[in-house]
Amino acid sequence: MNLRGRTHSLLATTRVANIPSVVCNVWLGAMIHRHFVNPVMDWASLTSLIAAGVCLYVAGNFLNDWMDRGWDRQHRPERALPRGLFTPGNYLTLAVIFAAAGTALAFSTHRLAGATALCILLFIVIYTIWHKRSPWMVIPMGLCRALLPIMGALGMLTVDLNAEILAKIVVVAALAGGALFFYIAGLSLSARGETNPARSTSVKALSLVCFLITALMIFPLSLPLQISGWWWLAPVPYLVWWIVCQTRCRRPISKYVSALLAGIPLIDCITLIPLALWMLTGVDSNAAAQPLAIISLILPPLAVLFALALQRLAPAT
Protein backbone atom coordinates (compact mmCIF):
# COMPACT_ATOMS: atom_id res chain seq x y z
CA MET A 1 0.00 0.00 0.00
CA ASN A 2 1.44 3.39 -0.98
CA LEU A 3 1.54 6.48 1.22
CA ARG A 4 -1.64 7.88 -0.29
CA GLY A 5 -3.58 4.73 0.53
CA ARG A 6 -2.29 4.60 4.08
CA THR A 7 -3.13 8.28 4.56
CA HIS A 8 -6.67 7.65 3.35
CA SER A 9 -7.01 4.78 5.81
CA LEU A 10 -5.87 7.01 8.68
CA LEU A 11 -8.35 9.72 7.66
CA ALA A 12 -11.08 7.09 7.65
CA THR A 13 -10.03 5.88 11.10
CA THR A 14 -10.08 9.37 12.57
CA ARG A 15 -13.53 10.01 10.99
CA VAL A 16 -12.04 13.28 9.80
CA ALA A 17 -15.38 14.37 8.34
CA ASN A 18 -16.84 14.61 11.85
CA ILE A 19 -14.09 16.83 13.26
CA PRO A 20 -15.74 20.13 12.16
CA SER A 21 -18.69 19.28 14.41
CA VAL A 22 -16.33 18.85 17.37
CA VAL A 23 -14.90 22.32 16.73
CA CYS A 24 -18.40 23.79 16.64
CA ASN A 25 -19.45 22.02 19.85
CA VAL A 26 -16.49 23.45 21.76
CA TRP A 27 -17.10 26.92 20.30
CA LEU A 28 -20.64 26.71 21.63
CA GLY A 29 -19.32 26.18 25.16
CA ALA A 30 -16.99 29.17 24.87
CA MET A 31 -19.87 31.38 23.75
CA ILE A 32 -22.00 30.26 26.68
CA HIS A 33 -19.19 31.27 29.03
CA ARG A 34 -18.85 34.61 27.26
CA HIS A 35 -22.56 35.32 27.64
CA PHE A 36 -22.42 35.10 31.42
CA VAL A 37 -18.89 36.16 32.31
CA ASN A 38 -16.42 37.85 30.01
CA PRO A 39 -17.12 39.79 26.81
CA VAL A 40 -13.50 39.31 25.70
CA MET A 41 -12.71 35.98 24.03
CA ASP A 42 -9.61 34.16 25.31
CA TRP A 43 -8.42 32.80 21.97
CA ALA A 44 -5.47 30.89 23.43
CA SER A 45 -7.71 28.91 25.78
CA LEU A 46 -10.28 28.38 23.04
CA THR A 47 -7.62 26.98 20.71
CA SER A 48 -6.42 24.59 23.41
CA LEU A 49 -9.97 23.45 24.13
CA ILE A 50 -10.75 22.84 20.46
CA ALA A 51 -7.53 20.86 20.12
CA ALA A 52 -8.45 18.93 23.27
CA GLY A 53 -11.88 18.05 21.88
CA VAL A 54 -10.42 16.92 18.56
CA CYS A 55 -7.75 14.82 20.27
CA LEU A 56 -10.30 13.10 22.49
CA TYR A 57 -12.55 12.40 19.51
CA VAL A 58 -9.67 10.96 17.46
CA ALA A 59 -8.51 8.90 20.44
CA GLY A 60 -11.96 7.36 20.72
CA ASN A 61 -11.97 6.41 17.04
CA PHE A 62 -8.55 4.74 17.16
CA LEU A 63 -9.56 2.89 20.33
CA ASN A 64 -12.85 1.82 18.76
CA ASP A 65 -11.18 0.41 15.65
CA TRP A 66 -8.57 -1.33 17.81
CA MET A 67 -11.30 -2.96 19.90
CA ASP A 68 -13.40 -3.92 16.86
CA ARG A 69 -10.59 -5.37 14.77
CA GLY A 70 -11.95 -8.93 15.06
CA TRP A 71 -15.48 -7.90 14.13
CA ASP A 72 -14.18 -5.75 11.27
CA ARG A 73 -12.40 -8.72 9.70
CA GLN A 74 -15.82 -10.17 8.91
CA HIS A 75 -18.00 -7.10 8.50
CA ARG A 76 -15.70 -4.18 7.56
CA PRO A 77 -12.73 -5.78 5.80
CA GLU A 78 -11.98 -2.51 4.00
CA ARG A 79 -10.75 -0.93 7.23
CA ALA A 80 -7.06 -0.49 7.90
CA LEU A 81 -6.46 -3.14 10.57
CA PRO A 82 -8.18 -6.03 8.73
CA ARG A 83 -6.16 -5.08 5.65
CA GLY A 84 -2.92 -5.19 7.63
CA LEU A 85 -1.97 -1.60 6.84
CA PHE A 86 -1.15 -0.98 10.50
CA THR A 87 -0.72 -3.18 13.53
CA PRO A 88 -3.18 -3.20 16.46
CA GLY A 89 -0.32 -1.91 18.61
CA ASN A 90 0.00 1.14 16.36
CA TYR A 91 -3.67 2.00 16.87
CA LEU A 92 -3.63 1.44 20.62
CA THR A 93 -0.51 3.60 20.95
CA LEU A 94 -2.08 6.41 18.92
CA ALA A 95 -5.27 6.18 21.00
CA VAL A 96 -3.28 6.59 24.22
CA ILE A 97 -1.22 9.49 22.80
CA PHE A 98 -4.29 11.40 21.59
CA ALA A 99 -6.15 10.72 24.85
CA ALA A 100 -3.23 11.98 26.93
CA ALA A 101 -2.80 15.05 24.70
CA GLY A 102 -6.50 15.91 24.84
CA THR A 103 -6.64 15.59 28.61
CA ALA A 104 -3.47 17.63 29.10
CA LEU A 105 -4.74 20.39 26.83
CA ALA A 106 -8.02 20.54 28.73
CA PHE A 107 -6.26 20.71 32.09
CA SER A 108 -4.01 23.48 30.73
CA THR A 109 -7.05 25.75 30.47
CA HIS A 110 -8.84 24.92 33.74
CA ARG A 111 -9.00 22.03 36.18
CA LEU A 112 -12.77 21.69 35.65
CA ALA A 113 -12.25 21.35 31.90
CA GLY A 114 -9.64 18.68 32.62
CA ALA A 115 -12.07 16.83 34.86
CA THR A 116 -14.67 16.98 32.07
CA ALA A 117 -12.12 15.57 29.63
CA LEU A 118 -11.54 12.66 32.00
CA CYS A 119 -15.30 12.02 32.06
CA ILE A 120 -15.32 11.98 28.26
CA LEU A 121 -12.51 9.44 28.29
CA LEU A 122 -14.41 7.28 30.75
CA PHE A 123 -17.48 7.22 28.51
CA ILE A 124 -15.27 6.51 25.49
CA VAL A 125 -13.89 3.43 27.22
CA ILE A 126 -17.35 2.27 28.36
CA TYR A 127 -18.73 2.68 24.85
CA THR A 128 -15.75 0.99 23.22
CA ILE A 129 -15.95 -2.10 25.43
CA TRP A 130 -19.71 -2.68 25.34
CA HIS A 131 -21.11 -1.00 22.22
CA LYS A 132 -21.39 -4.27 20.29
CA ARG A 133 -23.23 -5.92 23.18
CA SER A 134 -25.97 -3.52 24.14
CA PRO A 135 -28.16 -0.89 22.42
CA TRP A 136 -27.98 1.11 25.65
CA MET A 137 -24.47 2.15 24.64
CA VAL A 138 -26.06 5.05 22.79
CA ILE A 139 -26.06 6.69 26.23
CA PRO A 140 -22.27 6.89 26.80
CA MET A 141 -21.78 7.73 23.12
CA GLY A 142 -24.23 10.62 23.43
CA LEU A 143 -22.63 11.78 26.68
CA CYS A 144 -19.21 11.98 25.01
CA ARG A 145 -20.66 14.51 22.58
CA ALA A 146 -22.81 16.28 25.19
CA LEU A 147 -19.80 16.99 27.40
CA LEU A 148 -17.94 18.95 24.71
CA PRO A 149 -19.87 22.22 25.25
CA ILE A 150 -19.45 21.80 29.00
CA MET A 151 -15.70 21.35 28.58
CA GLY A 152 -15.61 24.39 26.31
CA ALA A 153 -17.49 26.54 28.81
CA LEU A 154 -15.53 25.47 31.88
CA GLY A 155 -12.20 25.74 30.09
CA MET A 156 -12.74 29.45 29.53
CA LEU A 157 -12.93 30.19 33.25
CA THR A 158 -10.12 32.50 34.29
CA VAL A 159 -11.29 33.50 37.76
CA ASP A 160 -13.18 31.82 40.54
CA LEU A 161 -16.83 32.66 40.02
CA ASN A 162 -19.57 32.86 42.56
CA ALA A 163 -21.75 29.79 42.75
CA GLU A 164 -24.73 31.42 41.04
CA ILE A 165 -22.93 32.39 37.84
CA LEU A 166 -21.04 29.11 37.67
CA ALA A 167 -24.31 27.25 38.08
CA LYS A 168 -25.87 29.21 35.20
CA ILE A 169 -22.95 28.38 32.93
CA VAL A 170 -23.10 24.69 33.81
CA VAL A 171 -26.90 24.53 33.44
CA VAL A 172 -26.94 26.19 30.01
CA ALA A 173 -23.96 24.15 28.77
CA ALA A 174 -25.64 20.98 30.05
CA LEU A 175 -28.91 21.86 28.31
CA ALA A 176 -27.05 22.59 25.07
CA GLY A 177 -25.21 19.31 25.53
CA GLY A 178 -28.55 17.63 26.16
CA ALA A 179 -29.72 18.63 22.70
CA LEU A 180 -26.59 16.98 21.28
CA PHE A 181 -27.17 13.91 23.44
CA PHE A 182 -30.71 13.31 22.17
CA TYR A 183 -29.66 13.92 18.58
CA ILE A 184 -26.80 11.40 18.79
CA ALA A 185 -29.15 8.91 20.46
CA GLY A 186 -31.76 9.46 17.75
CA LEU A 187 -29.14 9.09 15.04
CA SER A 188 -27.81 5.84 16.45
CA LEU A 189 -31.24 4.35 17.10
CA SER A 190 -32.46 5.36 13.66
CA ALA A 191 -29.49 3.66 12.04
CA ARG A 192 -30.10 0.52 14.10
CA GLY A 193 -33.74 0.50 13.04
CA GLU A 194 -32.77 0.75 9.39
CA THR A 195 -30.36 -2.19 9.61
CA ASN A 196 -32.52 -4.41 11.84
CA PRO A 197 -36.05 -4.76 10.37
CA ALA A 198 -37.16 -7.07 13.20
CA ARG A 199 -37.23 -4.17 15.66
CA SER A 200 -37.52 -1.36 13.15
CA THR A 201 -40.89 0.10 14.21
CA SER A 202 -40.19 0.52 17.92
CA VAL A 203 -36.62 1.69 17.42
CA LYS A 204 -37.62 4.21 14.76
CA ALA A 205 -40.36 5.54 17.02
CA LEU A 206 -37.89 6.03 19.86
CA SER A 207 -35.42 7.72 17.51
CA LEU A 208 -38.18 10.09 16.35
CA VAL A 209 -38.87 11.03 19.97
CA CYS A 210 -35.17 11.79 20.47
CA PHE A 211 -35.07 13.99 17.37
CA LEU A 212 -38.17 15.84 18.58
CA ILE A 213 -36.71 16.39 22.05
CA THR A 214 -33.62 17.87 20.40
CA ALA A 215 -35.71 20.64 18.83
CA LEU A 216 -37.72 21.19 22.02
CA MET A 217 -34.55 21.87 24.05
CA ILE A 218 -34.94 25.51 22.99
CA PHE A 219 -37.68 25.94 25.60
CA PRO A 220 -35.60 25.14 28.72
CA LEU A 221 -32.63 26.98 27.17
CA SER A 222 -34.59 30.21 26.71
CA LEU A 223 -35.15 30.53 30.47
CA PRO A 224 -31.59 30.68 31.90
CA LEU A 225 -30.35 32.62 28.86
CA GLN A 226 -33.03 35.24 29.59
CA ILE A 227 -33.29 35.99 25.87
CA SER A 228 -36.61 36.69 24.23
CA GLY A 229 -37.74 37.59 20.75
CA TRP A 230 -35.39 35.40 18.74
CA TRP A 231 -35.55 32.03 20.42
CA TRP A 232 -38.14 30.60 18.02
CA LEU A 233 -35.68 30.85 15.09
CA ALA A 234 -33.11 28.65 16.77
CA PRO A 235 -34.30 25.12 15.83
CA VAL A 236 -35.09 26.02 12.18
CA PRO A 237 -31.70 25.06 10.61
CA TYR A 238 -31.71 21.75 12.47
CA LEU A 239 -35.30 20.93 11.50
CA VAL A 240 -34.71 21.78 7.84
CA TRP A 241 -31.65 19.53 7.72
CA TRP A 242 -33.45 16.72 9.52
CA ILE A 243 -36.24 16.83 6.93
CA VAL A 244 -33.63 16.67 4.15
CA CYS A 245 -32.07 13.63 5.83
CA GLN A 246 -35.45 11.89 6.13
CA THR A 247 -36.34 12.49 2.50
CA ARG A 248 -33.52 13.01 0.01
CA CYS A 249 -30.82 11.20 2.01
CA ARG A 250 -32.84 8.27 3.34
CA ARG A 251 -31.21 5.59 1.17
CA PRO A 252 -28.75 3.99 1.28
CA ILE A 253 -28.23 3.73 5.04
CA SER A 254 -24.60 4.88 4.76
CA LYS A 255 -25.73 8.11 3.06
CA TYR A 256 -28.44 8.63 5.69
CA VAL A 257 -26.10 8.22 8.66
CA SER A 258 -23.42 10.36 7.02
CA ALA A 259 -25.93 13.16 6.40
CA LEU A 260 -27.12 13.05 10.00
CA LEU A 261 -23.53 13.17 11.22
CA ALA A 262 -22.76 16.16 9.01
CA GLY A 263 -25.73 17.98 10.54
CA ILE A 264 -24.47 17.83 14.13
CA PRO A 265 -23.26 21.48 14.11
CA LEU A 266 -26.81 22.64 13.38
CA ILE A 267 -27.81 21.41 16.84
CA ASP A 268 -25.52 24.10 18.21
CA CYS A 269 -27.67 26.68 16.40
CA ILE A 270 -30.38 26.04 18.99
CA THR A 271 -28.19 27.92 21.46
CA LEU A 272 -25.92 29.95 19.18
CA ILE A 273 -28.62 31.76 17.20
CA PRO A 274 -30.24 33.41 20.26
CA LEU A 275 -26.81 34.27 21.68
CA ALA A 276 -25.58 35.74 18.40
CA LEU A 277 -28.73 37.79 17.72
CA TRP A 278 -28.65 39.06 21.28
CA MET A 279 -25.07 40.25 20.72
CA LEU A 280 -26.08 41.96 17.48
CA THR A 281 -29.30 43.62 18.61
CA GLY A 282 -29.60 43.43 22.40
CA VAL A 283 -28.04 45.32 25.28
CA ASP A 284 -24.96 43.14 24.81
CA SER A 285 -24.39 44.67 21.37
CA ASN A 286 -20.99 46.33 20.90
CA ALA A 287 -18.10 46.42 18.43
CA ALA A 288 -16.22 43.61 20.19
CA ALA A 289 -19.25 41.31 20.26
CA GLN A 290 -20.22 41.63 16.62
CA PRO A 291 -17.42 39.49 15.12
CA LEU A 292 -18.15 36.74 17.66
CA ALA A 293 -21.85 36.91 16.80
CA ILE A 294 -21.14 36.62 13.08
CA ILE A 295 -18.83 33.65 13.65
CA SER A 296 -21.51 31.99 15.76
CA LEU A 297 -24.05 32.39 12.96
CA ILE A 298 -21.85 31.17 10.10
CA LEU A 299 -19.74 28.52 11.85
CA PRO A 300 -22.43 25.79 12.07
CA PRO A 301 -23.44 25.87 8.37
CA LEU A 302 -19.79 26.14 7.34
CA ALA A 303 -18.99 23.15 9.53
CA VAL A 304 -21.75 21.18 7.79
CA LEU A 305 -20.40 22.08 4.34
CA PHE A 306 -16.86 21.26 5.42
CA ALA A 307 -18.04 17.92 6.81
CA LEU A 308 -19.79 17.05 3.55
CA ALA A 309 -16.63 17.94 1.62
CA LEU A 310 -14.46 15.80 3.91
CA GLN A 311 -16.85 12.87 3.47
CA ARG A 312 -15.63 12.76 -0.12
CA LEU A 313 -12.13 12.08 1.21
CA ALA A 314 -13.03 9.49 3.84
CA PRO A 315 -16.23 7.95 5.23
CA ALA A 316 -17.82 9.51 8.31
CA THR A 317 -18.60 6.12 9.92
**224-233, long-range: CB within 8 Å, 24+ apart, which pairs?**
224/168, 224/171, 224/172, 224/175, 225/35, 225/172, 225/271, 225/274, 225/275, 225/278, 227/274, 227/275, 227/278, 227/282, 229/277, 230/273, 230/274, 230/277, 230/278, 230/281, 231/274, 233/273, 233/274, 233/277
Q: How confident is the model at residue 230 (pLDDT cuts 50, 70, 90)?
A: low
Please give the distance of CA 149 from its chain centroid, rounded to a whole number: 8
pTM score: 0.94
Delineate the domains of the chain, giving CATH numbers in brackets: 13-310 (1.10.600)
pLDDT given at position 266: 97
pLDDT, tens digit (0-9, with 9 covering 90-100), for 12-43: 999 999 999 999 999 999 999 998 887 788 99
pLDDT, tens digit (0-9, with 9 covering 90-100), for 49-83: 999 999 999 999 999 999 999 988 998 888 899 99
Average pLDDT (249-254) is: 88
pLDDT, tens digit (0-9, with 9 covering 90-100), for 92-101: 999 999 999 9
Average pLDDT (134-146) is: 92
pLDDT given at position 228: 61
pLDDT given at position 284: 61
